[in-house]
Amino acid sequence: MNKNVPKCVGIIMDGNRRYAKSKGHIGIWGHKQGYETLKDFLDWSKDLKIETVIAYCFSSENWNRSKSEVSLILSLFRSGLEEILNEKNIGKVIFIGDRNRFPKDIVERMEKVEEKTKRNKGVTAVLALSYGGRDEIVRAAQRVVRDGVTISETNFSNYLDTKDIRDPDMIIRTGEEMRLSNFLLWQSAYSELFFTKTFWPAFTRVEFESMLQEYAKRKRNFGV
């Protein structure tokens, strides 16, 4: 692998439900498979010396899905958070997004995970839950107004959910669509973008490494 690897990778994990349908299963099965792929992706990133992964797990718009699907996804979050709490070999975990929309027990688990892993080494996993880029910017602007600070790019960045988190060097979207879908709108200004038709649960290390090889060849220009 080329030594010119990104320090921070954003991933839009799209295609879970379509993958499930293609295999004759219901949507939640696809989300469970997607969770397993995310764990694999973090292991690959660790092997490849990537420092931070920002994963788009549940958007602010996803709350508009059917109550039954949202309920199943929340149950998956609960079991995933418990798994993280019991996992010994794991890096630092951070959550971004409007966690106030989650039930109290899930928020408490998030807080426990962040506290337990805050000094852990390895890949930092930033999990975007109930997250939307526009919502993040609005919430940041409200806090800026509240504090009465002078607005600059640096000051504003300090009010975003990703304060102290590096902007993504590259963003990968699986599942065929070719758009950011409200993911890291501020932070992605100079990210290298990669799109694949592969559904997220079927995404492989081979395809990831192929993207990293392409990334290494690109000349990044910060500005016009």
Q: Which residues are catalytic?
A: 14, 62
What does R_g of the chain's alpha carbons equal in angstroms?
Answer: 17
CA distance 96 to 34: 19
CA distance 17 to 211: 24
160, HSE (Cβ side, Cα atoms, 13 Å): 24
153, HSE (Cβ side, Cα atoms, 13 Å): 3
Instruction: Give a three-class secondary structure readout of 184-202.
Output: CCCCCCCCEEEECCCCHHH
| CA 32 to each of CA 74, 87, 129, 157, 167: distance values in angstroms, whole numbers, following the listed order | 12, 18, 16, 33, 28
